[in-house]
A and B are shown apart, each in its own frame.
Chain A
């Protein structure tokens, strides 16, 4: 695959999924400006190192890895500070409580959840983004679900 083709594919990813990239990056960095900077630098890294990708694995997963790495470097404060906010409009067991649980998840579980539900990535792409096996993605996501459901059930007990 020629470099211009890779560049155009990366550009397409940027234009199509920019909000998702920013949200995931923000979930890592903790603030919006850092997340925006991480996305821009992550994509710049992807363009700069396009020759290294050489068709190994899904391109989208590789670009996600670039952005996630940049976001991790830019992280200045723990992501748990994201938690909080007003109770949801439907009252009930409290989405803010679930948000607190989300923020308290181990980093890998939290990242997998974000990549799965924000970025809408397939397991294979999540694995490429985080540098882990697809089976590990499945297990991690299952563990995250279990933790969150347990918290939800305890809240309704």
Chain B
């Protein structure tokens, strides 16, 4: 049988399977009608997409502005912060500097800062001011609760403007001797934040030593020192001892450790501005005893509390950190050291390696020595749970 013999049967079979259709059901308008709603939907989808893109761009812009604002407020590395009298720059855990405002009755009368220290919990800033020149600067301790902005002073004072010069005259409302002296300098918080240690400028025999006082003005206590003109105290982490310097600020001086009750005073070496590490094992200080080489030869030296060198030193003036180091401080976790020179800040590892120069200017720009008020670089305490 040839192939064509069965073809009519195939056509018939196909017709049997699917009967022929007529054209009566054809409806082109129905087809077009099915297209248009979808087209309108697609148009709506395109509009939605455009709206989503606009919203995304706006969100990105908002995020950019927020990030810029955050960086501006936080003060990233590289931002130059001038020393403003009504604000204090503070190093955070990463070595960045941010400002902490300090309440002042008049900004121009807050400039004579002789010491500053941030409480271990980072909530309270203590600042000491000295009377300089005319009686226009409050001499004493000035505390600021950084969260609430509430500030208070020891001794308690009020001030009034004196017309027509509009200068300020302080009127003491309680005994101005309640600090033990008129001009506290070099502040150091106790490890628990319950007390503040300081020394007095222009010490007399009767007030020679390290003073401590609670932030509420009670508990005044003197740790007497045999060394004359003690300055720059630093608490040991257990709160039982102090490291301090004694001698001529910016000149010949030595670093000592002493028990809080005044016993076991021991000299560690020639230098100044000691700072006790958070783990209690190391004391850093500025090695100043380098003869005529002057400030440019100053370095940071690391010693144990019993006076043994931690960093190998080949010569008397050897040390770590940049040349011209003036004052340094440990980070709260003890992993890093911030160093201030005449006009720069540096951050380095605890062993002196990894020296990194920050671009912002120092707090004091060299005038600190003139007023006897170098300030240890202030570290922002780390939030709990964060470890570097």
Tell me the A92-116 residues at the B interface (CB within 8 Å): 93, 95-96, 98-99, 101-103, 113-114
Q: Given known contacts A44-B34, A95-B12, A153-B1, is B25 in contact with A36 (CB within 8 Å)? A: yes
Query: A40 near B: Cβ within 8 Å?
Result: yes
**CB–CB B35/A99 < 8 A:** no
For B175, the chain A residues whose CB sits under 8 A away are none
Query: B14 near A: Cβ within 8 Å?
Result: yes
Q: Within the assembled complex, what's the spacing in Å between the Cα atoms of A114 and B10? A: 11
Q: Given known contacts A14-B26, A15-B28, A19-B22, is B34 in contact with A40 (CB within 8 Å)? A: yes
**CB–CB A83/B21 < 8 A:** no
Minimum CB–CB distance for A22 against chain B, Å: 4
Chain A: which residue is nearest B32 at the CB level? Answer: A47
For B383, the chain A residues whose CB sits under 8 A away are none
**CB–CB B28/A14 < 8 A:** yes
For A6, the chain B residues whose CB sits under 8 A away are none
For A149, the chain B residues whose CB sits under 8 A away are 1, 3, 6
Q: Within the assembled complex, what's the spacing in Å between the Cα atoms of A152 and B12? A: 13
Query: A72 near B: Cβ within 8 Å?
Result: no
**CB–CB A152/B9 < 8 A:** yes
Q: Within the assembled complex, what's the spacing in Å between the Cα atoms of A88 and B38? A: 46
Query: B39 near A: Cβ within 8 Å?
Result: yes
**CB–CB A102/B1 < 8 A:** no
Interface residues on B, range: 20 to 34
**CB–CB A117/B31 < 8 A:** no
**CB–CB A118/B27 < 8 A:** no
Query: A43 near B: Cβ within 8 Å?
Result: yes
Minimum CB–CB distance for A49 against chain B, Å: 10
Q: Within the assembled complex, what's the spacing in Å between the Cα atoms of A19 and B26? A: 8
**CB–CB A95/B16 < 8 A:** yes
Interface centre among B1, B18, B20, B22 (most CB of A within 10 A): B18
Number of A-B contacts (CB under 8 A): 91
For B1, the chain A residues whose CB sits under 8 A away are 149, 152-153, 156
**CB–CB A82/B31 < 8 A:** no
For B30, the chain A residues whose CB sits under 8 A away are 40
Chain B: which residue is nearest A50 at the CB level? Answer: B35
Q: Within the assembled complex, what's the spacing in Å between the Cα atoms of A30 and B354? A: 80
The one of B9, B16, B26 in contact with A85, judged by C-beta atoms closer than 8 angstroms, is B16
Q: Within the assembled complex, what's the spacing in Å between the Cα atoms of A88 and B13? A: 9
Query: B17 near A: Cβ within 8 Å?
Result: yes
For A114, the chain B residues whose CB sits under 8 A away are 14, 18
Minimum CB–CB distance for A88 against chain B, Å: 6
**CB–CB A95/B26 < 8 A:** no
Q: Within the assembled complex, what's the spacing in Å between the Cα atoms of A113 and B21? A: 18
Q: Within the assembled complex, what's the spacing in Å between the Cα atoms of A93 and B31? A: 42
**CB–CB B18/A26 < 8 A:** yes
For A99, the chain B residues whose CB sits under 8 A away are 13-14, 16-17
Minimum CB–CB distance for B4 against chain A, Å: 11
For A15, the chain B residues whose CB sits under 8 A away are 26, 28
> 20 A-B residue contacts at CB 8 Å?
A14-B26, A14-B31, A15-B28, A18-B25, A23-B20, A26-B21, A44-B34, A44-B35, A47-B31, A47-B35, A88-B16, A95-B12, A98-B12, A99-B16, A101-B13, A102-B13, A113-B10, A114-B14, A148-B10, A152-B1
* Contacts A11-B28, A26-B21, A40-B30 supplied; 7 other A-B pairs, CB < 8 Å: A15-B26, A23-B18, A88-B12, A98-B9, A99-B14, A102-B14, A152-B1
